[in-house]
Amino acid sequence: MSKKICIITGSTLGGAEYVAENIADILTEQGYQVHLEHGPELDQIIDEKCWLVVTSTHGAGELPDNIKPLFEQLALNTTYLSDLRFAVIGLGNSDYDTFCYAVNHVEQILESKNASKICDSLRINMLEVTDPEEYSAQWLPNFTSQI
């Protein structure tokens, strides 16, 4: 099993970046080699075999502007990612009927490329969760136990 994890963040207001940075610190302490990317280009991460995507949902259920181009490119790309394993942490507000739709977009695009989902995605409702960093840290063993 790989000890290398690429964390990809999609953030509009910074919340997803804070969660990702906290997760990166925890994983590093646990001996994982972490590659943290805030809104990367596809060629920067295409060779990574394990992605943890941490994203907020923006606007009408869309990906934030800093990772939208990456997933648009992936959706149009003919390359299959059958050796990629991934998980998703999403931040959203349940007042909106598009709560954590960005998670759905990421899952759909990656699964359409034959990538394998490691575990159930974490959907953080920012109306109920006061400490998303701690909340996601409690979820993290679901991810690490499967990689």
Q: What is the pLDDT of residues 28-62, one digit of tens each?
A: 999 999 999 999 999 999 999 999 999 999 888 99
| pLDDT of 2 | 57
Q: What is the pLDDT of residues 93-103, one digit of tens each?
A: 999 999 999 99
| Angle formed at CA 98 by CA 94 and CA 104, multiple of 5 degrees | 110
φ, ψ of residue 61 to 5 degrees: the values are 85, 25
pLDDT score recorded for residue 64:
96
pLDDT the model gives residue 59 = 85
Extract the tokens encoding 101: 């739709």
- Position 21 pLDDT exceeds 80: yes
Q: Confirm if 90 and 122 have CB atoms less than 8 A apart.
A: yes
Residue pair 84/113 in contact by the 8 Å Cβ criterion:
yes
Take residue 44 and report the two structure tokens written for it. 């920067």
Instruction: Please tell me the pTM assigned to this model.
Output: 0.97
Beta strands 116-117 and 4-10 are unpaired
Question: Averaged over 81-87, what is the pLDDT?
Answer: 96
Average pLDDT estimate for 11-16 = 93
Query: pLDDT digits over 93-135, tens only?
Result: 999 999 999 999 999 999 999 999 999 999 999 999 999 999 9
Return d(Cα 23, Cα 27) in angstroms, integer: 6
Supply φ then ψ for residue 50, to 5 degrees: -140, 115
Domains of the chain: 4-145 (3.40.50.360)
Q: What is the DSSP letter of 147?
A: -
- Which residue, chain included where needed, has tokens 């400490």? 131
Residue 90 reports pLDDT greater than 60: yes
Q: Is the pLDDT of residue 79 over 90?
A: no
Residue 23 CB partners (closer than 8 Å, separation 6+): 7, 52, 54, 89, 136, 137, 140
